[in-house]
Structure 1
């Protein structure tokens, strides 16, 4: 028939053009050094993922690739550097969800716009958050922790890596859903808060699984619950908050890659292909799983939709709780 034949011919004609675009994008990316900006210090999940991406791109394109730990201002210094970079695919930003979905509401005077200055490339990985306490705390489970907080309103404190961080907001939502009043103690990063919790100065912490897991395994922390929809394989005996009786706090932490606005679409498509190959490699998956991270790839427009959805979900919580950046 005529119409199917024409459609078939059109599709066949489009294939060489698509292949040419892919080849051009590959050649463009192979033409220079990569810089992966990680806006947080070495040693955490952002740094781990940035180095995995950097090593993978270096191997793929036989080009130098560096990780630039451009830290400070809750990640905003590194994000600013990425915003100003040339939009050719050679400078990429690895960033946690909070900088994309929380800061725009928390910090209305940001010098960057997530949608105006960046284009979403892909998410990389996700991890559970854990509610844990110093072993000396007289609460062996979430119900006992809530009862303790209700008996001493506003005195049972928890550490987070900063005002408005996703972990701070997880604590706010937990307290709201549990009907308990927990006292937030903000630190400049998770390591400082973690030290105080293990030292007994602060009784409780809400942190990412990769950061807390070694200390839970060593007995320096007692895990009470994970703030995810399901239990994590690394802590199979630790219940979810829903299983512990607190509904509506099914939260995980995730990390993604952004590129400067204006990066050509064929280059973005090539990078998405490369990212899927790098992170779905069995060795990469095994390496990340040891650190409590699960590979989780959402690409392009779908990743952008996820960012917008979570931004809209966090905004009323920030506003209703009167949370302001410090």
Structure 2
């Protein structure tokens, strides 16, 4: 075969591949779509998933059914999506800790999010709020760190490696103080522990703790994101409290599918995601739960995840986090 014949053959093969990709995109989805969530109903991840699913279903003409599969730091939902047929009809919405922390913590299973899932889009970002029981006697981050230096203090989280645990450890790392971590099975029981005074403080989901802040049962010291909270604009950012303007301890909800999903289908879901997250009604609804709509590209999602993996790996290794 001459070089020109080879070029024509390669060109024909490329056209065939492009045509096949177009058919895949046009055919998607040929059946209802499942959207898995690794948290119980009612939380920020679940609310985001249901808001997104409602809009996606309207746009693609197929039902998008949300399934809650809580457990193992969101790994149960993510693992089920990874093992599904890679045809784009099983998706999962996960916090970025599934990618940045869990592969380092859950090392004994046959599932690894960085290997077995493709990142389609960062759907939204969120932060955590540092709250303390009034009996702790602290009203600012400076007072908290001073008291922690002077004696033993405990803080609550929704479990090892979850955003609230990581946010607190970032605070402790930045200030050089120590506090004893008390993990609970989710943010709700962790919040109850702080309310009861069993544990002094905790970085917890803003929508979960804000009603208790407004009632005076908890004191808000800071929010972890650089941008602050639209729901609590008077609460200082951790960056401001520590006088570190570049400090941003925010987290993301990432839409994923099984590795091997055809690129044309990934591109189609990515396009739909970007359009949905631009809708004012969607943005306003998420803002009510302290979430910021994003709708990134797949490439941007992967870039962000790579950076966050590098950021949290030394923290996880320092803490020696391992699954039980």
| TM-score (ref. length: structure 1) | 0.88
> Following superposition of structure 1 onto structure 2, how do residues 161-310 of structure 1 map, counting pairs within 5 Å?
161-245=158-242, 247=244, 249-310=247-308
Hey, what's the Cα distance between the residues in 1 that align with 2:211 and 2:271? Answer: 33
Q: Retained in 2: the 8 A contact 1:38–1:67? A: yes
Task: Give the deviation of 1:214 after TM superposition.
Answer: 2.6
Task: Give the deviation of 1:297 after TM superposition.
Answer: 2.3
Query: Can you give the 5+ residue segments of structure 2 that lack an aligned partner in the other structure?
Result: 1-13
Hey, what's the Cα distance between the residues in 2 that align with 1:255 and 1:307? Answer: 11
Q: Retained in 1: the 8 A contact 2:21–2:263? A: no
Task: Give the deviation of 1:199 after TM superposition.
Answer: 1.7
Query: Can you give the 5+ residue segments of structure 1 that lack an aligned partner in the other structure?
Result: 1-13
Hey, what's the Cα distance between the residues in 2 that align with 1:166 and 1:111? Answer: 24
Range moving further from structure 2, 115-124 or 217-226: 217-226
Q: Retained in 2: the 8 A contact 1:177–1:249? A: no
Specify the SS of the correspondent of 1:303. Answer: helix
Range moving further from structure 2, 256-265 or 72-81: 72-81
Q: Retained in 1: the 8 A contact 2:274–2:296? A: no
Specify the SS of the correspondent of 1:136. Answer: helix
Per-residue deviation, residues 278-298 of structure 1 (Å, max 9, x unmatched)? 221111111111111110222
Range moving further from structure 2, 118-127 or 272-281: 272-281
- Residue 7 of structure 1 corresponds to which residue in structure 2? none
- Residue 160 of structure 1 corresponds to which residue in structure 2? 157
Whether 1:318 and 2:316 are equivalent positions in the alignment is yes
Range moving further from structure 2, 240-249 or 138-147: 240-249
Hey, what's the Cα distance between the residues in 1 that align with 2:254 and 2:219? Answer: 29
Hey, what's the Cα distance between the residues in 1 that align with 2:192 and 2:106? Answer: 28
Specify the SS of the correspondent of 2:50. Answer: helix
Specify the SS of the correspondent of 1:197. Answer: helix
Distance 1:324 1:115, change over 3 A: closer
- Residue 4 of structure 1 corresponds to which residue in structure 2? none
Whether 1:111 and 2:110 are equivalent positions in the alignment is yes
Q: Retained in 2: the 8 A contact 1:133–1:224? A: yes
Hey, what's the Cα distance between the residues in 2 that align with 1:323 and 1:27? Answer: 44
Q: How many residues align?
A: 309
Range moving further from structure 2, 39-48 or 217-226: 217-226
Hey, what's the Cα distance between the residues in 2 that align with 1:170 and 1:137? Answer: 19
Whether 1:89 and 2:106 are equivalent positions in the alignment is no
Task: Give the deviation of 1:53 after TM superposition.
Answer: 2.1
Per-residue deviation, residues 112-156 of structure 1 (Å, max 9, x unmatched)? 12232111100011112111111232111111111111111xx31
Distance 1:241 1:86, change over 3 A: same
Task: Give the deviation of 1:257 after TM superposition.
Answer: 0.4
Q: Retained in 1: the 8 A contact 2:230–2:287? A: no
Distance 1:230 1:61, change over 3 A: closer
Task: Give the deviation of 1:167 after TM superposition.
Answer: 1.8
- Residue 9 of structure 1 corresponds to which residue in structure 2? none
Specify the SS of the correspondent of 1:125. Answer: strand
Hey, what's the Cα distance between the residues in 1 that align with 2:141 and 2:127? Answer: 17
Task: Give the deviation of 1:223 after TM superposition.
Answer: 0.7
Range moving further from structure 2, 116-125 or 55-64: 55-64
Task: Give the deviation of 1:220 after TM superposition.
Answer: 2.5
Task: Give the deviation of 1:194 after TM superposition.
Answer: 0.5
| TM-score (ref. length: structure 2) | 0.89
